[in-house]
Amino acid sequence: MSSGEGGRPLAEIIELPDAQARSEANLRGPARVPRPTARRRRPTACQPASTRVLSGWGRTAPSVATVVRPADGRQVLELLARASEPSDGTPGSGSHPSQLAPAGRIIARGLGRSYGDAAQRAGGLVVDTSALDSLGPIDPDRGLVEVGSGVGLDALIRHALPKGWFVPVTPGTRHVTVGGAVAADVHGKNHHLEGSFCSHVAEIALATPTGMHVVGPDGAPEEAALFWATAGGMGLTGVVVSATVRLVPVETSWMLVDTERFDDLDTLMATMEASDDRYRYSVAWVDCSARRGPLGRSVLTRGDHAPRAALGTGRRGRRAVALASPSGLRVPLPAPSRLVNSHIVRAFNEAWFRRAPRHQTAALQPLDAFFYPLDGLGDWNLLYGRAGFVQYQFAVGPDGGELVRRAIQSTTEAGAPSSLAVLKRFGPSDPGPLSFPIAGWTLALDFPVGPPGLPGVLDRLDEMVAEAGGRVYLAKDARLRPELLGAMYPRAAELLAARLSVDPTLSLGSDLSRRLGLDDLGRPGDDDPGPGGGLAGA
Amino acid sequence: MLDAFGHPQSALVLGGTSDIATALLGALVADRCRTVVLAGRDDGRLRAAAARLADAGATSVETVTFDATRPEDADRVVARCLAAAGGQVDLAVMAVGRLDQPRRDGLDPADVAAVATVNFAWPAAALASLAGHLCEQGQGRIVVLSSVAGVRVRPANFPYGAAKRGIDAFALALADEVAGSGVSVHVVRPGFVHSKMTAGRRAAPFAVTPAEVAEAVRRGIERDERIIWVPGFLRWVFVGMRLLPPALWRRLPA
Ligand SMILES: Cc1cc2nc3c(=O)[nH]c(=O)nc-3n(C[C@H](O)[C@H](O)[C@H](O)COP(=O)(O)OP(=O)(O)OC[C@H]3O[C@@H](n4cnc5c(N)ncnc54)[C@H](O)[C@@H]3O)c2cc1C
Ligand SMILES: NC(=O)c1ccc[n+]([C@@H]2O[C@H](COP(=O)([O-])OP(=O)(O)OC[C@H]3O[C@@H](n4cnc5c(N)ncnc54)[C@H](OP(=O)(O)O)[C@@H]3O)[C@@H](O)[C@H]2O)c1
């Protein structure tokens, strides 16, 4: 693709240091608050000016890439075309080791809220989508809105709520982009009834090395296949440029919430099984740090959007759709050493449990307090200190309740109790081959990196999850072994097929895709002895 | 790629027949390391070590031969190793080293030169080459086997100790040089290790096994420690050793 046709030449959109500062606000992770080391002098040999250290929300496994911030879809296409060109063909250059590196040189990045290595590419190009920020008008009949993939759910909610609309699915933070929500096919508290994000997307514009594809679930079979491969495809099919999302109508920005406290896991899970389906939104928080008493004291909150009538006519009624402004509280710097230690975790969980009413029905709660309790704390991930933290989230079928118990028990016994645990029921999967949710249970556990027993106990949990027909959530993962991917995601080959149809050289790839071998499943040439073969013993 | 705990999926060892490095590789392969390149001087023993790792679960093990008395080759050797690893490697271990010959009458200048080359010149050149390649990769870890022998150089084996002190300093400076590039350098300072290098020599206090060094290195990498002492309390022992007046230091049992 030539650079002349109206778009700026590619070289200009590769960010230079001063422009970098501006986009800094859009790329979270260690880049915003550099690790102390990142400020030091860099080796001149391998560090062009626009390179950045990137990691996920967990701040583990950082890698360095060139960050590019295209202004529009055309520039995205240009970048992809450039990245899929065969590497420098000058004779002799093929002997340089980096030229033998596996394919996959470019990946999209939204707000970096995935916990692991999904939105980074060591030594490659990372497409910062923050300039793809268009917000279309909302179709007043069906709630359809076309938005740029770099738009945050926060901005979309601010745009839509005053007009009486809300996002159809939201994760536990509103600081994710629409592109990230599509690529991870994110789920919310309403999954058991309303499915995941892409079930509410009518169409996406997907930029790939072979051009722009506008695809939706209702298109021709191969278009629908590309759409669903992108849903949960972790950015590997291309860069989503925009998406048309079906919003849901709401009358107020308040929620009507029922809260219940439980002293043990069994009663909690039985209650969720029996009555979750009567609530649109449902989620439980489980205390893994309590030293005494039965396993799993917990708080279950369930509710729905409050109708206008529930607010009465007072001041609250008038402010019905004003979204409370985000708290100004932020964690300023990476904690020098971990502030999330076992005492603080225990105190926090204790306070959370005690604050919750034993049983309360139809309490009014502001929407952001209900959906985004953690957003008030800003960059809370920095509290985990330099080594960072991992989140372990898995899904298992309806009979997998025992695994939920085992996961909490085994990590606690290994001296690594989860600092935060969230339990939820999932409804049926959507058709995406790598979409995470499967009908049953999902448990998310947070662990600071550090306890020596943690890596091993998580590896064993992986095996139990795979054995039980479950899977871990790739948007949270930074440590799964590739051997188990196929068991957890038996349809992974469909993703590869869709990728090859639009990206024959597999120029899209991330640290995650390389770590999990997603780029080489059944790839032609897999049986080759490899470039090292001839050199053995040389 | 490196995972959240710094565990590698591919590893390269310079000094692939080293007892300490083989123990480390065994532990890494038992975890999730599947691609291994072993580089050393003896093809037969390299292949034997490679076969053991393949049996333990590594899916691709390649070997490369080189001679550490020729530092001018280091860059080419490193490039060959990376090519054998498929173009990139998560973890590189520098395990090349040798003790000086037991002294009979005075120092042998030829042996001093060889010890300086094998323990310093070749490793330094190879580390420079490795750092360049790994920075280009955008991620990677380098483990350098230094020694407490370089913390305060002892009369008994001072050519070795002095060279180790040099490579220790070089590696620490390299760690600063590559900071912010996605690459980190870890310097390992074991005390006496029961290995073929020390076979037949009298064990020093607090001697450890190669397996113990391997475990300490794994934990050190997990915690992103820049200097890894084995055993850990040697850090404090050597605070004291560094302060000993020379007259006392000379009289410590060899
Ligand atoms: C506090 C917190 C709570 C969370 N709660 C939930 C939850 O309840 N449910 C849930 O499902 N998830 C949850 N998440 C995870 C989060 O929703 C997902 O990781 C989401 O993908 C993050 O979006 P992002 O814009 O930050 O994307 P990034 O983290 O930047 O990227 C995530 C993936 O999306 C891809 N991607 C991003 N933009 C594009 C694009 N334009 N085109 C193609 N691919 C793209 C990237 O390549 C990467 O693979 C939570 C995360 C946090 C930090
Ligand atoms: N053992 C200890 O007490 C101790 C203590 C502190 C630090 N260390 C350091 O730890 C590292 C590993 O030592 P180890 O105990 O595992 O001993 P080792 O088994 O003897 O390992 C040394 C390695 O260096 C290689 N080597 C030596 N000279 C070479 C040359 N000219 N060309 C190419 N390779 C050469 C050896 O190859 P061959 O197998 O072919 O000889 C071997 O692979 C060394 O750097 C050592 O200095 C050891």
Domain boundaries, chain B: 10-249
Whole-angstrom Cα distance, residue B54 to residue A167? Answer: 51
Report in angstroms the alpha-carbon separations of B208 from B156, B192, B194. Answer: 20, 6, 6
Q: Among the atoms of ligand 2, which is closest to the Cα of residue B160?
A: 47
Give Cβ neighbours of residue A137 (< 8 Å, ≥ 6 apart). Answer: A145
Residue having the nearest C-alpha atom to atom 21 of ligand 2: B18
What amino acid is encoded at A70 in this protein? Answer: P
Evaluate if residue A104 carries a pLDDT over 80: no
Query: Quick one: pLDDT at residue A480?
Result: 98
How many angstroms separate the Cα of A309 from the Cα of each of A84, A249, A318, A319? 56, 15, 11, 13
Q: Determine phi and psi for A12, rounding to 5 degrees.
A: -75, -25
**For residue A112, how far is its CA from the centre of ligand 1 (angstroms)?**
7
* A531 part of contact set with chain B, CB < 8 Å: yes
- The mean per-residue pLDDT over the stretch B136-154 comes to 95
Please say if the pLDDT value at position A370 is more than 90. yes
Instruction: Give the Cα separation of B36 and B61 in Å (integer).
Output: 5
Q: How far is the CA of B16 from the centre of ligand 2 (A)?
A: 9
CATH number of A254-479: 3.40.462
Q: Please give the pLDDT value at position A470.
A: 98
Q: By alpha-carbon position, which residue is closest to atom 8 of ligand 1?
A: A171
- How many CA atoms lie within 13 Å of B138's alpha carbon, on the beta-carbon side? 28
User: Residue B96 CA: which ligand 2 atom is closest?
Assistant: 24
Distance A181 CA to ligand 1 centre (A): 5
Beta-strand relationship, A248-249 and A63-68? unpaired
CB A474 within 8 Å of CB A436: yes
> Token digits for A529?
């002895």
Distance CA A22, CA A332 (A): 19
Cα A384 to Cα A336, A350, A411, B21: the distances in Å are 9, 19, 18, 32
| Chain A residues 498-517 with a CB less than 8 Å from chain B | 511, 514-515
Dump pLDDT digits (tens) for A264-312. Answer: 999 999 999 999 999 999 999 999 887 777 888 999 999 999 998 888 7
To test the ligand 1 pocket, which listed residue (A68, A186, A206) has its Cβ within 8 A of the most ligand atoms? Answer: A186
Q: What is the pLDDT of residue A259?
A: 96
Please give the pLDDT value at position A530: 36
Do A64 and B131 make contact, defined as CB atoms within 8 angstroms? no
In A442-461, the residues whose Cβ lies within 8 Å of chain B are 449-450, 452, 454-455
Distance from CA of A516 to the nearest CA of B (A): 9
Return the higher-pLDDT residue of A326 and B94.
B94
Residue-level pLDDT at A87: 59
Asked whether the beta carbons of A397 and A438 are under 8 A apart, the reply is yes
- Chain mean pLDDT for chain A: 83
Cβ pair A515:B84 closer than 8 A = no
> What angle separates helix B210-222 from helix B19-31, to the nearest 10 degrees?
50
Q: ipTM score here?
A: 0.94
pLDDT of residue A103: 57
Say how many Å lie between the CA of residue B59 and the centre of ligand 2. Answer: 25
Shortest distance, CA A393 to any CA of chain B (angstroms) = 15
The SS3 call for residue A268 is helix
| B13-71 tens-digit pLDDT | 999 999 999 999 999 999 999 999 999 999 999 999 999 999 999 999 999 999 999 99
Report the distance separating Cα A196 and Cα A99, nearest Å: 39
Exposed/middle/buried for residue B215 (C-beta within 10 Å: 0-12, 13-18, 19+): middle
Average pLDDT over residues A419-435: 95
Mutate to test the pocket of ligand 1, among A28, A114, A173, A512 (most ligand atoms within 8 A of CB): A114
Q: Could you report how far apart the first and last alpha carbons of chain B are, in Å?
A: 43
Strands A281-286 and A389-396 come out as unpaired
pLDDT at A41 over 80: no
Dihedral pair phi/psi, residue A45, rounded to 5°: -60, -35
- Give the H/E segment covering residue A392: strand A389-396
d(Cα B224, Cα B187) in Å, to the nearest integer? 11
Q: Is B168 in the pocket of ligand 2 (CB under 6 A)?
A: no
Q: What is the Cα–Cα distance from A321 to A408, expressed in whole angstroms? A: 39
CB atoms within 10 A of CB A438: 20
Q: Which of A45, A102, A479 sits opposite B132 (nearest CB)?
A: A45
Ligand 2 pocket check for B123: Cβ under 6 Å: no
Take residue A390 and report the two structure tokens written for it: 């991992």
Residues 6+ apart with CB under 8 A from A79: A10, A13, A68, A70, A106, A125, A127
Query: Which overall architecture, per CATH, does domain A3-131 show?
Result: 2-Layer Sandwich (3.30)
CB contact under 8 A, B138 and A515: no
Output A44 or A451, whichever has higher pLDDT: A451
Written as six digits, the tokens of A399 are 């009979």
Give the three-class secondary structure for A292: coil
Query: Which-ligand-closest: CA of B43?
Result: 2
Query: In the CATH scheme, what architecture does the domain B10-249 have?
Result: 3-Layer(aba) Sandwich (3.40)
Are B182 and A101 inside 8 Å of each other by CB?
no
- Tell me the CA–centroid distance for residue A463 and ligand 2, in Å: 38
Pocket of ligand 1 (CB under 6 A): A 57, 107-114, 118-119, 129, 149, 171-173, 176-177, 179-180, 183-184, 186-188, 234-235, 239-240, 374, 475, 510
Ligand nearest to the CA of B119: 2
User: Which atom of ligand 2 is found nearest the CA of B94?
Assistant: 45
Dist. CA A422–CA A189, nearest whole Å: 11
**pLDDT in the model for residue A352:** 79
Q: Is A467 helix (H, G, I), strand (E, B) or coil?
A: helix
Of A338, A389, A344, nearest in space to A57 by CA: A389
Ligand 2 centroid–CA A365 distance in Å is 66
pTM (predicted TM-score): 0.90
For chain A, domain boundaries: 3-131, 135-249, 254-479
Residue A4 contacts B, CB cutoff 8 Å? no
- Helices vs. strands in chain A: H and E counts, helices first: 17, 19
Residue A528 in this model has a pLDDT that exceeds 60:
no
CATH class of A135-249: alpha beta
Q: Do B3 and A58 touch (CB under 8 A)?
A: no
Candidates B5, B38, B142, B176, partner chain A, best to mutate (most A CBs within 10 A): B5
pLDDT at residue number A347: 80
Please give the average per-residue pLDDT across B213-224, as a whole number. Answer: 94
Taking residue A110's Cβ as centre, other Cβ atoms within 10 Å add up to 31
Torsion (CA) B30, B34, B36, B42 in degrees, nearest 10: 60
A185 Cβ under 8 Å from any chain B Cβ? no
Residue identified by tokens 């980190």 is: B184
How far apart CA A121 and CA A113 sit, in angstroms, is 15
In contact, B246 and B154? CB cutoff 8 Å: no
H or E, element range at B46: helix B43-55
Segment among A183-197, A402-416, A426-440, B21-35 with least mean pLDDT: A402-416
Three-state DSSP at A352 gives: helix
Lowest mean pLDDT: which of A152-156, A339-343, A395-399, A512-516? A339-343
Which amino acids of B are annotated catalytic?
160
| Pairwise CB contact (< 8 Å): A100 & B86 | yes
Q: Is the CB of B23 under 6 A from ligand 2?
A: no
> With contact defined as beta carbons under 8 Å apart, do B80 and B64 qualify?
yes
User: Cα separation of A131 and A128, whole Å?
Assistant: 8
Contacting residues of B for A538, CB less than 8 Å apart: 64-65, 80
Cα(B217)–Cα(A397) distance, rounded to whole angstroms? 39
Count how many Cα atoms sit within 13 Å of the Cα of residue A499 in the half-sphere of its side chain.
Answer: 32
pLDDT, one tens digit per residue, over A308-346 is: 888 877 766 666 665 544 444 455 455 556 667 777 778
Residues A146-162, mean pLDDT to the nearest whole number: 96
B63 lines ligand 2 (CB under 6 A): no
C-alpha A207: how far from chain center: 20
Nearest-5° Cα angle at A493, A488 to A499: 125
